[in-house]
Structure 1
Amino acid sequence: MSRLLRTLLAACLLALVPGCGTDTRDPLVVLGPWTGEEGKAFEAALDELDDGTGRTYTYEGTRSLRETLVSQLEADDPPDVAVLNSIGELTEYARRDKLRPLVDESAERAFAPWSPTLIVDNRQRTFWVPLKIDLKSLVWSKRGAPGDRPTWCVGLASQATSGWPGTDWIEDLVLHRAGPALYTQWATGRLDWRDPAVKGAWTSWARLLGKRTPEAVEQSLTTSFEGTSTADGQPRGLLDSPGFDCTHEHQSAFIRYVYAGDDVEVEPSARYLGGPSAYRDTFEVAGDMAAVFSDDPDAQELVARLSSRAGRELWRGEAEPEVRPLFPDTAGLALPKSATPVEREIHSLLTSRAHTLCFDASDVMAPELRDAFHRAVLEFFRDPTERQLDSLLDQLETIRVQTNTDSGTDRSFRPPQAICEPQG
């Protein structure tokens, strides 16, 4: 029995029983990507959230988000609300009529570049809103490490989505060397994967990482982006992991939860990537966006409350500093007084120093193309030869062309066209 049907039956029973004033409807189900301390903080915020409906919430956190959601949709038992970091997946669900357009109160918080509008059924609509965001164009290093001779940490394993730390490198190189316009064309399927700017990003990545032994390559392919674990199962981070003799790591702002001390510092990645100075203050960003899969009006109310100023402050207040969520500058929330130096640096980059913000390219692509991109990065890392690269780019171009060929109807996949947003 689907969640919606259970909810409707419960409502009918209430209506048929005189004097029954207790709300026995099932909790609204929220599916999201946060586990561990992040998941606990979000769940605590849900428990404290008063949305005026009397409803309660169940949070399901998983690292295998796409697989879980696809399984629930196939069983006709989707969550009421799901939080996804892929615009490509959200676009796919919207065009397949799996999402409900957001009510105006939430749609007003659909800040760019995280929530572009889509045209579905000849109407321009908003289907998701960012709950939290991350800054991706960052390099973390051991304090005092020489920046002119970095040795790079690489951990590419990540359960069902292994490879994305490598795609982040490729994306950042395209953005900083070719600029937002070409980056947008590539991310939205309007540029050949064999274009010199795209191919050059792959070869530049290989040069930056330098020659690696077969043992080091295998270690990176089989080690999580979180690094090795301590005796009590906590991730160390690659910079602090035994066996990784490295000084610098290219990673998103979220990784600060494993670098909570003061021995690691963060800076923009542009210094290490090269490219014109005009793109130095252009940053790649990601986000976790809430979308409504249910016809239950309380699901819309929940998203409205979560994306509100009060909802964001409640969530931030429940989180420890190392997993405290970041929000778009347009949300109008100042940093808390207890913000760490790393938080302040990242906030400054996002708000006062960024010239342009561009959404993560692979998370804009059609899911099948994104997944192929992840796999190609793993294969290239193992064998970074030109012959291998040419073969991989041919394969990715074939998938891009096929995706575009299949996008002839209003219900088919077509990515949003505006994924970069000038700031200030």
Structure 2
Amino acid sequence: MLTLVPGCSSDEPDPLVVLGPWTGKEGEAFEATLKTLDDGTGREYTYEGTRSLRETLVSQLEADAPPDVAILNSIGELTEYARRGKLRPLAPEAAERAYKPWAPMLLVDNRQRTYWVPLKVDLKSLVWSKEGTPDGDPRWCVGLGSQATSGWPGTDWIEDILLHRAGHDVYEEWATGRLEWSAAPVKDAWTTWSRLLGDRSRASVERSLTTSYDGASEDGQPLGLLDSPGFDCTHEHQSAFIRYVYAGEDVSVEPSARFLGGPPEYRSAFEVAGDMAAVFSDDPAAQELVERLSGPAGRERWRAAAEPEVRPLFPHTAGLPPAPSATPVERKIDSLLTSPEQTLCFDASDVMPPELRDAFHRAVLEFFRTPTTERRDSLLRQLETVRVQMNENSGGDPSFRPPEDICAGPRG
């Protein structure tokens, strides 16, 4: 926790509390941004960074002590908080930057309003390899562990496969609870993932299940899966953020589409994620802070404060050209993210209600251990039961469902 702008008297307002997902170098860069950001309010900021974001926020809400601003990557969670009256609609200045697919408008109390805005984004449909790696059959690195939500690297695989083999219309229907989990395109995505990974020994499976997505540690530092002991692999399917573990190395990155076997017309689709800021308090200074953080000046300060390996990526509409010191990898990712020809679709599991998302994470771990048709069908039946329950809980009220428009062009 860091309190910024020291010194206050007894009649000064309490510091604004910002809760976010960034720790380590990412957290330091964001704290430095807050420290240098002139928001015009004269307020202090307290930043709380945690990898257990949902658990921390739920605990604070239950104690009736929410942060003023929280930064989340889950549209499903944000929808839940909005419909429960925990979020405040954004002021017009920030709402203008809340474009699809990261921040579609939400229907709450029969009114269409904007409740969050992306601060930074990531491109997910990427494959990494070492420079000079033969362009033959890839041996895939897989690390499914995570501190809070193990399994999401596997759900990213299945989402990306479905997007590129079935197209963004089917992807949207599935992600937003309008397509059954037993549907043929969904089954195909799970089977394709198993086929692409190939036969794996029991030791290899257990290693993947217990190793973090950012690899085995070396002297307490993350070590990419391409470099990790025991991982005899040539390619890694992972989001743009993973570049931080390969800083200074000769790595290549390319779109994942050519590895997934989908038709050519779906190759211009990309899965994306985002870290979105939402206001939980009635303090006008919280709205002003979000407006400044999401604007060009705030983003320039943030990028300047971050080391190259954790430098944030921004949506093109309110983004910046690549930094003068950007690496070739950084420039390649930025060009893919901001190309007007691309269709960008938000991470499907982060659109789903939290209960369904968590069940999806667990199911992927079980399927990875036992990738049989029987096990797949059993897991999909379980996930379909959760989907039906979520839809029934909505009672037909669209306010209780995630937004259906989660794919758009980068300028949309």
So what's the TM-score if we normalise by structure 1? 0.93
Q: 1:208 aligns with which of 191, 196, 202?
A: 196
1:97 alignment counterpart: 85
1:127 CA displacement:
0.1
Q: Which amino acid aligns with 1:399?
A: V
State the Cα deviation string for residues 230-270 of structure 1 (Å, max 9, x = none): 12x11011001111110100000000000112321100000
Secondary structure in 2 aligned to 1:161? coil
1:324 alignment counterpart: 311
1:412 CA displacement:
5.8
1:155 aligns with 2:143: yes
1:251 alignment counterpart: 238
* Aligned partners of 2:337 and 2:410 also within 8 Å: no
1:151-230 map, 5 Å: 151-230=139-218
Q: Which amino acid aligns with 2:97?
A: R
State the Cα deviation string for residues 151-179 of structure 1 (Å, max 9, x = none): 00000000220000000000000000000
Distance 1:410 1:53, change over 3 A: farther
1:409 CA displacement:
6.1
* Aligned partners of 1:282 and 1:354 also within 8 Å: no
* Aligned partners of 2:107 and 2:398 also within 8 Å: no
Q: Which amino acid aligns with 2:38?
A: D
Give the Cα–Cα distance (whole angstroms) in 1 for the partners of residues 14 and 106 of structure 2. Answer: 31
Q: Which amino acid aligns with 2:85?
A: D
Secondary structure in 1 aligned to 2:350? coil
1:278 aligns with 2:265: yes
Q: Gaps (5+ residues) in structure 2? A: 1-7
RMSD: 1.4
Give the Cα–Cα distance (whole angstroms) in 2 for the partners of residues 62 and 77 of structure 1. Answer: 17
1:25-64 map, 5 Å: 25-64=13-52
Larger Rg belongs to: 1
* Aligned partners of 2:177 and 2:391 also within 8 Å: yes
1:5 alignment counterpart: none
1:288 alignment counterpart: 275
Secondary structure in 1 aligned to 2:127? strand
1:143 CA displacement:
1.2
2:395 alignment counterpart: 408
Give the Cα–Cα distance (whole angstroms) in 2 for the partners of residues 353 and 274 of structure 1. Answer: 24
1:357 aligns with 2:357: no
1:147 CA displacement:
2.7
Q: Which amino acid aligns with 2:321?
A: A
Q: 1:399 aligns with which of 379, 386, 389?
A: 386
2:117 alignment counterpart: 129
Give the Cα–Cα distance (whole angstroms) in 2 for the partners of residues 411 and 112 of structure 1. Answer: 18
Give the Cα–Cα distance (whole angstroms) in 2 for the partners of residues 262 and 237 of structure 1. Answer: 10
2:98 alignment counterpart: 110
Q: Which amino acid aligns with 1:352?
A: S
1:352 CA displacement:
2.2
Give the Cα–Cα distance (whole angstroms) in 1 for the partners of residues 267 and 174 of structure 2. Answer: 19
State the Cα deviation string for residues 297-322 of structure 1 (Å, max 9, x = none): 11111101100110000000000011
* Aligned partners of 1:283 and 1:354 also within 8 Å: no
* Aligned partners of 1:96 and 1:412 also within 8 Å: no
Q: 2:295 aligns with which of 285, 303, 308?
A: 308
State the Cα deviation string for residues 386-414 of structure 1 (Å, max 9, x = none): 11111100000000011011112658630
State the Cα deviation string for residues 187-244 of structure 1 (Å, max 9, x = none): 000000010100100000000000101110000000000101112x110110011111
Distance 1:296 1:409, change over 3 A: farther
Secondary structure in 1 aligned to 2:48? strand
So what's the TM-score if we normalise by structure 2? 0.96
Would you identify which runs of 4 or more consecutive aligned residues in structure 1 move more than 3 Å? 409-412
Give the Cα–Cα distance (whole angstroms) in 1 for the partners of residues 135 and 194 of structure 2. Answer: 18
Q: Between Structure 1 and Structure 2, how many residues are aligned?
A: 404
Give the Cα–Cα distance (whole angstroms) in 2 for the partners of residues 153 and 197 of structure 1. Answer: 25
Give the Cα–Cα distance (whole angstroms) in 2 for the partners of residues 409 and 121 of structure 1. Answer: 14
Give the Cα–Cα distance (whole angstroms) in 2 for the partners of residues 150 and 261 of structure 1. Answer: 23
2:3 alignment counterpart: none
Give the Cα–Cα distance (whole angstroms) in 2 for the partners of residues 147 and 250 of structure 1. Answer: 15
Q: Which amino acid aligns with 2:260?
A: L
Identity %: 75
